[in-house]
Amino acid sequence: MTCLTNLISLIKLLFIKDKELYVYVHGITGYYPRDIELYKLALVHRSKPLQLPSGRWTNNERLEYLGDAVLDLVVAEFLYNQFPRKHEGFLTSTRAKIVQRESLNRVGKAFHLDTHVRAATHSTSHNSYINGNALEALVGAVYLDHGYKRCRQFIVQRIICQHFDIDQLVKVDQNFKSRLIEWTQKYHVTIEYALVDTKNDRDNNPVFTTAVIIAGQYAADGTGYSKKESHQNASKKALDRLRSDTNFRQQVLSDASEG
């Protein structure tokens, strides 16, 4: 059945106008697109939106949102089966290392997504995560085009297994948010991330500021060109404060015990 499907796709390829994108998507995902428009949209950055025949302007942010959720689920399932004896904190930390913006951006660059993304020049220079964002949008497109089973296969085989050394990954902890979450779980402390400000820089790129609240107390805040980046920066500052500010650390643990 798969051979027949591929044969039909190859025959269609002779008559379609988007041959380059069609072949490119197959090379990355292992599947021929059924709806090529989804993949076109996945490569449209908000800085240079695409006008639909209806006159409405659109970009890849909705697909990015969907792909982010699918990635989280697939990676969580993969790690759950890969490490049957590990606790929840370990699984959360390891998942965060895979889906963090830096990791996805690295994979996106390996896929050469930047050579296909439709974006304004100033956005590509300021938004260092444009490849990672496009990768999430691509995952969303595969999910809508081929369903969960094939999308899961693409993520596991083409993203996780080809671009991550899982054994090495679990030995290295560079994700500040996951480390902070593990600390709060260890001491049974509540943690909350609150978006406190959103503004645009001079090139109209959004900049987010997030505060991290530990045991009901403000710990630190951080900024970034994505919410995830602001979470990471806030978490790093919070970890530094927990190490250096003994009074703050004792107050957090005291409030947690009283709660």
The two tokens of residue 35 are 């709806």
**Beta carbons within 10 angstroms of residue 31's beta carbon:** 20
Q: Find the catalytic residue in 20, 88, 114, 136.
A: 136
Q: Find the catalytic residue in 18, 35, 37, 68.
A: 68
**From CA 142, how far away is CA 154, in angstroms rounded?**
8
Q: How far is CA 175 from CA 25, 92, 117, 225, 229, in A?
A: 30, 11, 27, 17, 11
Instruction: Give yes or no: 68 in active site.
Output: yes
Instruction: Give yes or no: 136 in active site.
Output: yes
Q: Residue 8 — φ and ψ, nearest 5°?
A: -60, -40
Task: Provide the annotated active-site residues.
Answer: 68, 136
